[in-house]
A and B are shown apart, each in its own frame.
Chain A
């Protein structure tokens, strides 16, 4: 693990969306617990992958990190300052340090703006970053950095392919020279052949600018390729957090093992032999999660203690990284056979 230079500290982050009833006098009858107690650190130049199935709170986590949603409780410290509580000019200044690349390159670029306006917008908002005369040149440099033709500055987004559009989105994220970029499923809307190009671009930029990534995805192989550490989310909580090799080769949590067993194997022989763990049922509603361990309703190891006591995310005996399971034991799912 990279030591020192901890640039992002997330502590006990909680985001609940209230469920209300009534038209005129709204009563809160419950809450969607989208993110429910998440803690992790991010170091300079590091990539933290976050995986989990749809609805586990990955994107809400990204929105809270970006201060697009205010946390219900907990803190998001960027270089020691809490972005979740920052306001006005301070929040605006902090935003320069954390930017995002969005999932869908077809909706994340304003169709009425030229590429130059889109990539140059950060400079118009943060006027102190680049003097007015320099902006056009800066935008062209950014286009060049992400592998686009700088002469295309006056084109509109719809004149580009999906991969090119995603490069425009990345250029916009880079404009303010942030230390952290939150990538919310940045390649899941792209063709597989283009995915590799964009991933390689992200890796190159990371080395060039010493960026730290929060890389959210549901494609485990993409996350493995790019991440230094991986966190596995289930129903708003991290169930396992460790280095990429630990998570992929020695998963300790049953949910991680089940996820990994579902990764497509490109070899027909290995595919026949490997173990498939098929989970029963659907994830429970985040409005009413199960008591104790949230995964127990679908877990084959579940016993009484799982309903009574919530397993904390900690290093368990026999494993080298943090996991949240009373019965954690490493089990290599991918390499069997």
Chain B
């Protein structure tokens, strides 16, 4: 439907209608929305392009690790205790870890768990917090009071302590990495809730919501057609930034022993294993730590760039 408008825009008198702040969109005459403006803005941002590049490589690593490494780290025969803590050599670019396994292969294969945990936690936390925030912000009153107090209780739980509690209580549940996702979601949704609630309250007082009520629109239509699209931008930004935080939290939990469990591979587990012999052999700790930092940084930079692009006041 964008195409149709683009064509009519050239022939009509309205094509000259002032379009404030539009750079590329004015040329094409397409309907510019916040999102298309933001996209035009992002495409020209080096930080956005760099972080997207890093994330693309990480996603490839997570989906097809064999593209990057011919060694299968899940095959115990590739590990030789005799060669433990071997320095980088031909065929083993990162060297070997405490058990003599190929460090490069393990680092590559560790990306999957980090990304799966980070992305699914972000999605679940955004869904739960976003929906509750939408409902609480829209209805206000007692609904809002109850939801806000419950959120504050969750906020008050120290996150590492809470995750330790959940992780150790349900250790034998057989949920695997999903236990990590659940415990991080339980502790992560209040942030999204607060942002969504605040954005909805701001949007709710605007005239177009009053106009929709005057037309007879029900609560569902007002929430999902009017409030949600106008309150989504800050939630997306925070979700992107949080994604990096969740990946770091997964590493922390795995390090503490309540996250990903061996024989699964995760950067947090690798750091925990390497830490015992760190002074002797620093590389088995440094490589996963560097990958972890770069991943977290890439998502935080992405979130930062998206925030700048979605905030028209900064443009």
Closest beta carbon of chain B to A65's beta carbon, Å: 10
Asked whether B8 lies within 8 Å of A158 as measured between CB atoms, the reply is no
Query: Which chain B residues have a beta carbon within 8 Å of chain A's beta carbons?
Result: 1-2, 4-5, 8, 12-14, 17-20, 31-34, 206-208, 210-218, 221, 225-226, 229-230
Asked whether B217 lies within 8 Å of A125 as measured between CB atoms, the reply is yes
11 contacts between A and B (CB under 8 A): A68-B210, A91-B216, A92-B216, A121-B225, A122-B215, A125-B217, A154-B31, A155-B31, A156-B31, A160-B14, A172-B211
Residues of B with C-beta under 8 A to A159: 14, 17, 19, 31-32
Asked whether B216 lies within 8 Å of A126 as measured between CB atoms, the reply is yes
Known A-B contacts: A108-B211, A125-B217, A159-B31. Give 5 more (CB < 8 A): A100-B211, A124-B221, A154-B1, A155-B31, A156-B32
Asked whether B216 lies within 8 Å of A158 as measured between CB atoms, the reply is no
- Complex alpha-carbon distance, A152 and B13, angstroms: 11
Asked whether A151 lies within 8 Å of B211 as measured between CB atoms, the reply is no
Closest beta carbon of chain A to B134's beta carbon, Å: 15
Closest beta carbon of chain B to A101's beta carbon, Å: 9
Selecting from A1-9, A110-118, A197-205, the interface stretch reads A110-118
- Complex alpha-carbon distance, A113 and B34, angstroms: 11
Asked whether A102 lies within 8 Å of B211 as measured between CB atoms, the reply is yes
Asked whether A156 lies within 8 Å of B33 as measured between CB atoms, the reply is yes
Residues of B with C-beta under 8 A to A114: 1, 31
Asked whether B8 lies within 8 Å of A151 as measured between CB atoms, the reply is yes
Asked whether B215 lies within 8 Å of A109 as measured between CB atoms, the reply is no
Main secondary structure of the interface of A (DSSP, over half): loop
Residue interface bits A101-140, CB-to-B below 8 A is 1, else 0:
0111001111111100000011011100000000000000
Residues of A with C-beta under 8 A to B225: 110, 113, 121
- Complex alpha-carbon distance, A283 and B311, angstroms: 40
Residues of B with C-beta under 8 A to A156: 31-33
Closest beta carbon of chain B to A136's beta carbon, Å: 11
Chain B's closest residue to A150 (CB) is B8
Residues of B with C-beta under 8 A to A108: 207-208, 210-211
**A160 partner, pick from B1, B8, B17, B214, beta carbons under 8 A:** B17
Closest beta carbon of chain B to A13's beta carbon, Å: 18
Asked whether B17 lies within 8 Å of A104 as measured between CB atoms, the reply is no
- Complex alpha-carbon distance, A169 and B214, angstroms: 12
Residues of B with C-beta under 8 A to A126: 215-216
Asked whether A161 lies within 8 Å of B211 as measured between CB atoms, the reply is no
Q: Is A227 interfacial (CB 8 A cutoff)?
A: no
User: Which has the most chain A C-beta neighbours within 10 Å: B17, B34, B216?
Assistant: B216
Q: Which 10 pairs, one residue from A and one from B, show the smallest C-beta to C-beta distance?
A: A108-B207, A112-B229, A151-B8, A154-B5, A107-B207, A95-B216, A92-B216, A110-B208, A156-B31, A154-B1
